[in-house]
Structure 1
Amino acid sequence: MPRSRALYIVVSENLKEVTRCLNCLFLGGVCVFLGGQVTLWAETLPGREILDLSLVPPVIQTRPGPEYSPEQLDYSMTIGIERTPKGRLWAAWVAGGDSEKGFFVLGLSDDDGKNWKSPQLVIDPPEAPTGLKRRILVGNLWTDPAGRLWLFFDQSMGYFDGRAGNWAITCDDPDAESPVWSTPRRIWDGCTLNKPTVLKSGEWMLPVSLWDRGKIGPAELKTAAPELDPYRKANVLVSHDQGKTWNYRGGVAFPGPQFDEHMIVERKDGTLWMLARTTEGMFESLSQDQGKTWSQPEMAMPHIPTRFHIRRLASGNLLLVRHGQVDERTKHRTRLMAFLSHDEGQTWEGGLMLDDRGGVSYPDGFQAPDGRIYISYDRERAKEREVLLAVFREEDVAAEKIVSHDARLRGVITKAMGGLLESKLPGVKKAPFAQPVDVKLLAMVEGSQGQWKDKALQNAKLDRTTIAYDGITPNKLVCDTTLRQLPDKSWALYLLAGDDIEPSPGNYIGVVKSLDQGKTWSAIEEVPTGLPRSGLTSGQGATEVMVHRAKLTMFFSTHSETWGRNWQSWIMTSPNQGRAWSKPGLLPGRLGQFTFIRNHIVTRDGRIMVPFQHYEGPGPDVPPPPAEDRPWHKALRHYVSNPRNGVLISSDQGKTWTEHGNIRLTTDDRYHGWAENNIVELDDGTIKMIIRGDRLGGVLYMAESIDGGKTWPDFAQKTEIPNPGSKATIYKLRDNGVAMLHNPNSSHRSPLSLWVSYDGMKTWPYRRVLVKESSDGPKGRLNYPDGFVSEDGYLHFAYDDNRHRAVYYGAKLPQIAIDENSP
């Protein structure tokens, strides 16, 4: 059966049973009524290749972007807090939601929790190609006896895939200026919410919960992992070798389980005392054999179904942080209080109110060497979005009020402010308008009459434009602007930056980002390719960034001095919005050298197709030019010659590629020109390619493939579309529409215009000028527009204004035109 939603019904004479099963389906369940009457499946389990993505180690982001700052997040659920040997505090919390969208954020404090720096580390794995989420939701921080800091975290497909997985990373020097974390390793199934317990024997005991089947979701996962059903309980794992290995020891199946969230205390007589969260209250179980077997669970005390915290203090007393008095079950998550026990939990005294407000929950903590107790908790996760800190001493708990001089309550670790403040990335001033929007100018049409002229005027009123980045000498260069919408709906504008000219060994790949659809932009950052910015790979520039199925693929090139010297062409990927990239690899075959890749498309049959421009270069009988000084034009024209155009096609989502086409513009083997080709698939399956022609008549060239890009003509044909020798880009719209951004001028790169065709690029009835001239005047140039079509009918793109300014432009299209391959 195909792995998609399916419905099978075998009808019997008993119509009531059919109705019952249908009702079950509509409620999102999976119903099977056997005995020859009704059988119904509402969902089918995803394939192993999807389910096992939770077994893939997630990327640990140690330099997370500003999109993970408190100013941009809209949810905060505390995970835990810990102290390092030198006194640094680390805290972890969940952002995204207590759902399949959850991910981890860590912050630190070097002033005893008064001020916090975040984000310091993020774990945010990408979703599956099918759209099934992969989340990080449960874990904790712990400093082991050797001073290493542990971060435990779980990873699951969907909210819970029936298996999840308990992972850990460690940091040997968590007080370092730049902490280094280990590679993630998977310990077992399930998840750990609370800290390990170090037993008198020297063993480390780790609480691990494997949730019951009722927690599994979404519906397509409901039948997953039945082989783990015997372990769906509050388990314990033990390490004899300081965490190098962990072995299963035993577990307790509590009645009415509610995520377990169990904690373990070793009593003075050697008995292990486990407390767990259930629907009925706080339950307990005892072990006399170090966790191998456990007593029948019993009610320990009333408690609302939520997390609590218990630990042994340096004094030998026990600390309990819970909701309300020890004999009380509060109606809501309110009145977070601390209690002490001098008799191993038989009785409790004191009662320090940490926070009496509503929506407070999930305490976790530690005791510092000076005796102070630190408890983190959250408040109103989706509304107030706070993770808070209480610091107090045993005497405060016993007195039921603050009596110590250094206690403090309701300190703020983090407060998510996304959507509550003006969306702004660090280091950025509000982006100014690039130029005044002149509606009459923008509605300029050339050869358009009637409805098209009216539409142009109407659309122009809805355009918007801002400056995204303005370069300053000696690094003013802006070129090859590429605007993309990332999987998280933020925008990234990639550009060729560095030095004042291009090509140059000083060029690098820069990126600026926007979280508010182009209203504000971040400061420029360099994209780390993993290749040295010296020697053979000094100059680096990206020509295409593909966003497909939650993954970014960057095609970029490097050189040692200019594109005529040691030009190599690479590909690398990112699973996490471009915050970390894979090791780059060369393009296949001849395309690994002297090749640019341009804008991709996804064909109707699901193949990925990217156009290439490759340079065969001079024959062996053509002598090379003599050595020269900057800007190395002779070497460029000599080696970057005899261009060939075609496409790379992948039928396996970019794992492998095949090359097709060898299109030329001229028979002159010494011809030098920048092809900068673009492709589009028409409704009839024809692939059209436009190609820039330099000094070849002042028009664009075109070639087409009628067999899905497999074969192409030897030579492209001239069109009647004016072009001065500049990159033009095309975008598929509905109703066989194609939009084109270009300079409709045979001799100069201005104006910058939008044309739209509805007949397979034969005619272009909708034409309007977007930008008349450069901000530097009529001699300035408007270059390299590149972007994407959004679902609300805009063509969002960036262009470079005279090689020093990156400008964002949002052009309203003549209808609600949705790119079938939009991100």
Structure 2
Amino acid sequence: MRISLFLTALLLAQALPAQELPENPIEEMSSEQVRAFEIEVMEKVADLALIPPVPNISPLPEYGYDRLDYGMTIGIERTPGGRLWACWVAGGDSPKAFFVLNSSDDDGETWSSPRLVLDSHSKTLPRDRSILVGNLWTDPLGRLWLIFDQSMDMFDGRGGVWATICENPDGEEPTWSAPRRIWHGVTLNKPTVLSSGDWMLPVSLDQRGGLDAFKGCFRGLDPLRGANVLVSSDKGATWERRGAAIFPNPDWHEHMIVERKDGSLWMLARTAKGIMESDSMDGGRSWSEARTSAIHHPVARFHIRRLVSGKILLIKHGLSIETHEGRSQLTAWLSGDEGKSWQGGLLLDERSGISYPDGFQAPDGTLYISYDHNRSTDGEILMARFTEDDILAREFRGPKSKGKILISRPLARELAELPKFEKSPKEPNPMIDLPLVDLSSERQRHSVVAAGTESIYQGHCDTVLLPDGRTMFTAWCLGHAQWIGPLAKSEDAGRTWTDPLAVPSNWSTTSNTPALHRLVGPGGVARLVCFAGGLDWSRGGKPPYPLFQSVSEDEGKTWSAMIPNGVEGEVPPKTILSFDRGNRLVMWSDLPGYVVQSESIDGGLHWSVIRRILRVPDRWSQPCVIASPDGKSLVMLMRENSRRFHSLVSFSHDEAQSWSPPRELPAFLTGDRHVAKYVGGERLVVAFRDMAVSSSTYGHYVAWVGRFEDLAGGRAGDYRIKLFHNSLRKEVDEPGKGNTDCGYSDLEVLPDGTVVATTYVKYAEGPEKHSVMNTRFRLDETDAKLVR
């Protein structure tokens, strides 16, 4: 229907005056004329691919991993400052294709969310307009090129090679030039810098012509079809076609070029019969008749390049040069005799469904290869990092050598299957039918950790208690969820506190609400870890959300600088639990619409890539996870930030491997930033910012007292406690309205059963801003008050 409307518009635009138009001019055409007319119209449609796409430098959240469902690698590159960039195809190996780029600042260990997208699709177009293949290349000037094709459908018979260039690829905010069209065709592999200084770009103008509706289009380009080479002698300002090799059974060519030491050029190309080769003795102007390569390979992309050592690197499928088993067994080889023989055979990935290697060599000689795995299902883009010595040894031996490093993975299909919140037809109890014990006015219980002033807002805090039962640390931020840095110590169980301790300088440039944990890893090694980062208000709260951590190996005397830990989450984890006899730590955080989970097997030094485990209505779910006394069950309490529902709860009975769909909690546990501790082995204290609109303590810092069975069974529990009064709330404020700025907190239980609850709060009326305070109580005291 779309194309018929477009054809009608074209017909009406023809030059004949209206009175001279036959009622239906198509009826008077012969079949040959009709076909010629169809081709003419489709070539006009193909002109829509001459419109340059606009680089999208703010692609989130629309192009976040949770919105993507496909992954086919394009390439990987390193920029002068050491940043790695990767590019892949999303949308499908189809007319729906578009490009996505991300980056890594730690040598590929962790990768950002998508940073750049090239998507030229539009609902107003009569056909799909795809960006399907291309490459990433750092030129000798240090500029990062993104070279790509743009065509209507998969290939409209003409295609088009385009480039956008980034002059500051290592900057905080890389900028990309307006794309410019270089020539026809498509390109998949990087340019080769020749000994003459010329840059040679391999470009395929497929000999098969246009596909499907575009079959027969642009026959005028037929003399130029083949495995072309374009050359720039002015550092990429202009490009000109120099020549082309012709291969039988063409299949996108995907050709690569190596300059031999004698100055001749060696071209290898993909065909429907495997790799074929051709040579040029005149700089690419003419090419020899194609011949079958001794390198046996499936119909798939390969990678070949000259190394600094003078050897040639080959990445292919198969455990030998003469064999392959389809798109599996990706291996690395070296040749010291210009490709006559090959040594090594390092197995980069043994699995099936792997393909499309691309790579580069870093200044220190390290080799980097990207490839994809199961494009339509897993959609993983992966990286291997290794050395020439590794290739010859046929194993990863180097200190940095490593395989199967994840660059990206689309999540849309997976996330569609996640347990998700659905409102129950049975409304949870909106009223709070629990007694309240009010301790907020009993100031003898209170201690000041950090007093607010007229200019200093002492913000969101967290604590950790050491095994001696007396030494505590509190970390907090300056400003509302802003810069961390303050860390104080108490040696009398939180009654008195030091001034802020010396910490590394980059703490003060790391934002958000800190979380302190004492983590015990395999072998009983204990460390203190301060987590921070995630949501950063200096970026307007926009993604990405990288978490950071600092480690103390000496019980808090000294701390490391804050470094990214590879976990993505909006808030640092309030809960980290130990499983498998201390060999597996699990943390929980959140991203907009999801609860996420990450694991560590080395005591918290390194963390796995996050796994989204639950879908929730909004952001900031801030999960708090509590294990049952026997350890067989887990309950997760979550903030519900859309304010349309009560707080949420989910359960796991397999040590956090799977979770039940979230459901609403009763009003008495509805709040933000839940934290929980057992007291005396069986009873639970759960503290939070009260957000139940039916609550008389709405907007204040409160706690719930009950048992795990109450949470599991939806029972009311014992009672609630008002811990601190938020002095920003006025007497006239009704529940559900007014200020609620308090309650990011933590609980510590002393050896005698005393609970120390620490929070940030506007403690008293007056000009002073928020303070960090704690209060202390015992359950036998609050039990007794309840009886009275």
In the superposition, the TM-score normalised over structure 1's length comes to 0.48
Check the 8 A contact 1:71/1:423 in 2, yes or no: no
Check the 8 A contact 2:39/2:217 in 1, yes or no: no
Residue 50 of structure 1 aligns with an amino acid whose one-letter code is V
Is 1:173 aligned to 2:168, yes or no? yes
Count of aligned pairs between the two proteins = 431
| Mapped partners of 1:437, 1:220: distance in 2 | 55
**Counterpart among 363, 369, 378 of residue 372 in structure 2:** 378
**Counterpart among 133, 140, 144 of residue 135 in structure 2:** 140
| Mapped partners of 1:153, 1:240: distance in 2 | 20
Check the 8 A contact 2:369/2:385 in 1, yes or no: yes
Is 1:153 aligned to 2:148, yes or no? yes
Is the alpha carbon distance of 1:423 and 1:123 closer, same or farther for their aligned partners in structure 2, counting shifts above 3 Å? Answer: farther
**Counterpart among 119, 127, 132 of residue 122 in structure 2:** 127
Q: Secondary structure at the match of 1:66?
A: coil
Is the alpha carbon distance of 1:803 and 1:433 closer, same or farther for their aligned partners in structure 2, counting shifts above 3 Å? Answer: farther
**Counterpart among 175, 192, 199 of residue 197 in structure 1:** 192
Instruction: For residue 246 of structure 1, report the CA deviation from its aligned partner.
Output: 0.3
Residue 91 of structure 2 aligns with an amino acid whose one-letter code is G
Q: Deviations over 1:377-426 (max 9, x none)?
A: 001111221111000000111112222222101110011121212589xx
Check the 8 A contact 1:50/1:128 in 2, yes or no: no
Residue 334 of structure 1 aligns with an amino acid whose one-letter code is S
Alignment of 1:726-741 (within 5 A): none
Aligned twin of 2:316:
322
Q: Deviations over 1:73-95 (max 9, x none)?
A: 11100000000111000000001
Is 1:235 aligned to 2:228, yes or no? yes
Q: Secondary structure at the match of 2:185?
A: coil
Is the alpha carbon distance of 1:222 and 1:242 closer, same or farther for their aligned partners in structure 2, counting shifts above 3 Å? Answer: same
Check the 8 A contact 2:100/2:117 in 1, yes or no: yes
| Mapped partners of 2:188, 2:31: distance in 1 | 45
Residue 122 of structure 1 aligns with an amino acid whose one-letter code is V
Alignment of 1:74-153 (within 5 A): 74-127=69-122, 129-153=124-148
Aligned twin of 2:401:
407
Is the alpha carbon distance of 1:331 and 1:353 closer, same or farther for their aligned partners in structure 2, counting shifts above 3 Å? Answer: closer
Instruction: For residue 52 of structure 1, report the CA deviation from its aligned partner.
Output: 1.2
Instruction: For residue 190 of structure 1, report the CA deviation from its aligned partner.
Output: 0.8
Aligned twin of 2:391:
397
Instruction: For residue 155 of structure 1, report the CA deviation from its aligned partner.
Output: 0.6
Instruction: For residue 46 of structure 1, report the CA deviation from its aligned partner.
Output: 4.1
| Mapped partners of 2:325, 2:30: distance in 1 | 45
Task: Extract unaligned runs of 5+ from structure 1.
Answer: 7-33, 439-473, 475-511, 524-774, 777-801, 805-823
Instruction: For residue 519 of structure 1, report the CA deviation from its aligned partner.
Output: 7.3
Check the 8 A contact 2:208/2:250 in 1, yes or no: no
Check the 8 A contact 1:360/1:378 in 2, yes or no: yes
Check the 8 A contact 2:42/2:213 in 1, yes or no: no
Residue 141 of structure 2 aligns with an amino acid whose one-letter code is A
Residue 74 of structure 2 aligns with an amino acid whose one-letter code is I
| Mapped partners of 2:281, 2:38: distance in 1 | 45
Aligned twin of 2:215:
222
Is the alpha carbon distance of 1:232 and 1:128 closer, same or farther for their aligned partners in structure 2, counting shifts above 3 Å? Answer: farther
| Mapped partners of 2:320, 2:43: distance in 1 | 47
Instruction: For residue 213 of structure 1, report the CA deviation from its aligned partner.
Output: 2.7
Residue 299 of structure 1 aligns with an amino acid whose one-letter code is T
Q: Secondary structure at the match of 2:48?
A: helix
Residue 246 of structure 1 aligns with an amino acid whose one-letter code is W
| Mapped partners of 2:593, 2:403: distance in 1 | 36
| Mapped partners of 1:147, 1:422: distance in 2 | 41
Instruction: For residue 49 of structure 1, report the CA deviation from its aligned partner.
Output: 5.1
Is the alpha carbon distance of 1:179 and 1:423 closer, same or farther for their aligned partners in structure 2, counting shifts above 3 Å? Answer: farther
| Mapped partners of 1:190, 1:143: distance in 2 | 21
Residue 150 of structure 1 aligns with an amino acid whose one-letter code is W
Check the 8 A contact 1:430/1:521 in 2, yes or no: no
Is the alpha carbon distance of 1:38 and 1:314 closer, same or farther for their aligned partners in structure 2, counting shifts above 3 Å? Answer: closer
Residue 214 of structure 2 aligns with an amino acid whose one-letter code is L
Instruction: For residue 432 of structure 1, report the CA deviation from its aligned partner.
Output: 8.5
Is the alpha carbon distance of 1:153 and 1:522 closer, same or farther for their aligned partners in structure 2, counting shifts above 3 Å? Answer: farther
**Counterpart among 287, 303, 306 of residue 309 in structure 1:** 303
Is the alpha carbon distance of 1:436 and 1:113 closer, same or farther for their aligned partners in structure 2, counting shifts above 3 Å? Answer: same
Q: Deviations over 1:785-808 (max 9, x none)?
A: xxxxxxxxxxxxxxxxx999xxxx
Check the 8 A contact 2:318/2:330 in 1, yes or no: yes
Is the alpha carbon distance of 1:265 and 1:63 closer, same or farther for their aligned partners in structure 2, counting shifts above 3 Å? Answer: same
Instruction: For residue 436 of structure 1, report the CA deviation from its aligned partner.
Output: 7.8
Instruction: For residue 325 of structure 1, report the CA deviation from its aligned partner.
Output: 4.1
Aligned twin of 1:213:
208
| Mapped partners of 1:220, 1:209: distance in 2 | 20
Instruction: For residue 522 of structure 1, report the CA deviation from its aligned partner.
Output: 6.7
Alignment of 1:517-596 (within 5 A): 520=617
**Counterpart among 46, 61, 65 of residue 70 in structure 1:** 65
Residue 177 of structure 2 aligns with an amino acid whose one-letter code is S
Residue 300 of structure 1 aligns with an amino acid whose one-letter code is S
In the superposition, the TM-score normalised over structure 2's length comes to 0.50
Task: Kindly report the root-mean-square deviation, in angstroms, between the aligned alpha carbons of the 2 structures.
Answer: 4.0
Aligned twin of 2:783:
none
Check the 8 A contact 1:3/1:44 in 2, yes or no: no
Residue 210 of structure 1 aligns with an amino acid whose one-letter code is L
Instruction: For residue 67 of structure 1, report the CA deviation from its aligned partner.
Output: 2.9
Q: Deviations over 1:181-221 (max 9, x none)?
A: 1110000011110000000111000000112336x33x322
| Mapped partners of 2:4, 2:422: distance in 1 | 48
Is 1:298 aligned to 2:308, yes or no? no
Alignment of 1:763-778 (within 5 A): none
Instruction: For residue 227 of structure 1, report the CA deviation from its aligned partner.
Output: 1.3
**Counterpart among 245, 253, 260 of residue 267 in structure 1:** 260
Task: Extract unaligned runs of 5+ from structure 2.
Answer: 7-28, 429-479, 481-590, 595-614, 621-692, 695-735, 739-788
Check the 8 A contact 1:261/1:277 in 2, yes or no: yes
Check the 8 A contact 1:386/1:414 in 2, yes or no: yes
Check the 8 A contact 1:373/1:393 in 2, yes or no: yes
Q: Secondary structure at the match of 2:65?
A: coil
Residue 340 of structure 1 aligns with an amino acid whose one-letter code is L
Q: Secondary structure at the match of 2:80?
A: coil
Check the 8 A contact 1:75/1:385 in 2, yes or no: yes
